[in-house]
Amino acid sequence: MLEVKNIHQYYGGSHILRDVSLTAQAGRVTVLLGRNGVGKTTLLKSIMGLVPIKSGSIEFDGQPVQKRTPYERARAGMGFVPQGREIFARLTVEENLRMGLAYRSAGTPIPPELFELFPVLKQMLHRRGGDLSGGQQQQLAIARALAPGPKLLILDEPTEGIQPSIIKDIGRVIQMLAQRGDMAILLCEQYYDFAQELADDYIVMERGEVLARGLGKDMEAQGVRQLVAI
């Protein structure tokens, strides 16, 4: 579904991403790991077109997208949940979800499945996003990204600052989405145990480069916990 080949990215004179390649396949969770500041978020933003790449290629669903705008990538089926959630605090839950449908035709209904995945959102449909707890806001951010039915879901540290009960709910949803088989999931995560539990495939970054990669079931045997320990 997603194939990133040999991309390089710079901020000013700093070489942030160095020859990074990865793939994310439909029906699988690909986990991106690494210490703070190694370029994980920059990589995700590069995939979404929020920051430009200097060289390399990004293919999505068999088509090159590295020259497409972020909204063109979203329309093609790429969904992004940014670090920090970035919901619209003054809009209601319903309005936030409709923002995820902004490029669909007018009157497109909010998919009922979103309320099956996150029942709390139905209960709080008319509350402002800023009045929700951090965990509820994270669920809203994920639901907003899912609203248009993406083929790829990119999540940037969805457990950051979230209470354990909601972390479990988010993990359950990610597993369900992957098991459907029609969506690729790229998960950037600092919480190692959460990442290991969900990973079908893993990638470890260090100083803007891919340090290690493999199957999720091999993470412990290959010492991944030690590679990402702070």
Domain of residue 148 covers: 2-228
Q: Is-contact 124 136, C-beta < 8 A? A: yes
CATH code (residue 43)? 3.40.50.300
What does the pLDDT read at residue 102?
A: 84
State mean pLDDT over 43-56: 95
State mean pLDDT over 125-141: 94
Best CA proximity match to 191, nearest among 210, 209, 215, 171: 171
- Confidence bin at 104 (pLDDT 50/70/90): confident
pLDDT in tens, 141-157: 999 999 999 999 999 99
What does the pLDDT read at residue 103?
A: 80
DSSP string covering the chain: -EEEEEEEEEETTEEEEEEEEEEE-TT-EEEEE--TTSSHHHHHHHHHTSS--SEEEEEETTEE-TTS-HHHHHHHTEEEE-TT----TTSBHHHHHHHTTTTSPTTPPPPTHHHHH-HHHHHTTTSBGGGS-HHHHHHHHHHHHHTT--SEEEEE-TTTT--HHHHHHHHHHHHHHHHHSS-EEEEE-S-HHHHHHH-SEEEEEETTEEEEEEEGGGTTTTTHHHHH--
Whole-model pTM?
A: 0.93
What does the pLDDT read at residue 229?
A: 81
Count of structural domains within the chain: 1
Q: Is the pLDDT of residue 38 over 70?
A: yes
What does the pLDDT read at residue 190?
A: 86
What does the pLDDT read at residue 230?
A: 61
pLDDT in tens, 54-98: 999 999 999 999 999 999 999 999 999 998 888 999 999 999 999
What does the pLDDT read at residue 66?
A: 93
